[in-house]
Amino acid sequence: MRFTALTLIAAIALPSFAVADSIDDAIKARQGYYQVVKHNAGALFGMAQGKIDYDAAKASSAAKDLAALAHFGNDGMWPAGSSKADRPGKTRALPIIWETYPAIGEKVAAFKKAATAMAGSAGNGLDALKADVSALGASCKGCHDTYRAKDF
Ligand code: HEC
């Protein structure tokens, strides 16, 4: 039996999403993305603050994952119609993200720069990690202050 592209497509059951669902899915995806960001950045913040024992291998691994996340092209997670004004109670993403786009790119660039620096230094001792941690924390806060609401 010869499988053509058409029979293959027919054989795969593709779920169909309503538009509202796809917007809610995008919101959930970006919030999940930021949870992974927090998981890795949190380990680095914890070590810098002495709340977690410094471990070079763990620090390096967290910082490398964070740098990969910072470079993640997540444009599809920010569809029009997914701001806090459109989906109150579901997202903290402020409408200004879309109104002033691509200005938010400056904040993404600061995050990329800080995460890349951290990926290079986190495994080289606690002092090296500490030297880059302020810029990393500032890159999160810098974006949240302008683009993320305090409440959902
Ligand atoms: C370019 C902007 C930007 C940068 C940089 C950024 N964030 Fe965020 N973050 C957001 C926005 C916008 C939201 C709200 C997303 C939503 O609710 O749809 C968010 C949400 C979050 C959340 C909540 C996710 C949830 O479950 O609702 C956490 C935690 C978070 N960010 C941590 C961080 C940390 C830690 C950093 C730095 C290492 C960081 N973010 C860097 C913009 C940014």
Domain assignment present for 4 = no
Q: Which of 49, 69, 140, 152 for a ligand 1 pocket mutation test, highest count of atoms within 8 Å of Cβ?
A: 140
CATH at 124: 1.20.120.10
Q: Report the separation in Å between the CA atom of 93 and the middle of ligand 1, taken as the mean of its atom positions.
A: 9
62 pocket-lining for ligand 1 (C-beta < 6 Å)? no
Atom in ligand 1 nearest the alpha carbon of residue 90:
17
Residue 13 class from Cβ within 10 Å (0-12 exposed, 13-18 middle, 19+ buried)?
exposed
Q: Is the dihedral of CA 81, 21, 72, 45 positive or negative?
A: positive
CA distance 94 to 102: 14
Q: In total, how many domains does the chain have?
A: 1
Q: Which residues form the domain of 93?
A: 16-147
Out of 84, 101, 118, 148, give the residue to mutate to test ligand 1, the one with the largest number of ligand atoms within 8 Å of its CB: 148
93 in contact with ligand 1, CB cutoff 6 A: yes
**Residue 56 belongs to some domain of the structure:** yes
**Predicted local confidence at residue 74, as pLDDT:** 86
Does residue 63 lie in a domain region? yes
Cα end-to-end span (Å), the chain:
54
User: Does the beta carbon of 113 sit less than 6 angstroms from any atom of ligand 1?
Assistant: no
pLDDT tens per residue across all 152 residues of the chain: 455 555 555 566 666 666 668 999 999 999 999 999 999 999 999 999 999 999 999 999 999 999 999 999 888 999 999 999 999 999 999 999 999 999 999 999 999 999 999 999 999 999 999 999 999 999 999 999 999 999 99
pLDDT of residue 3: 55
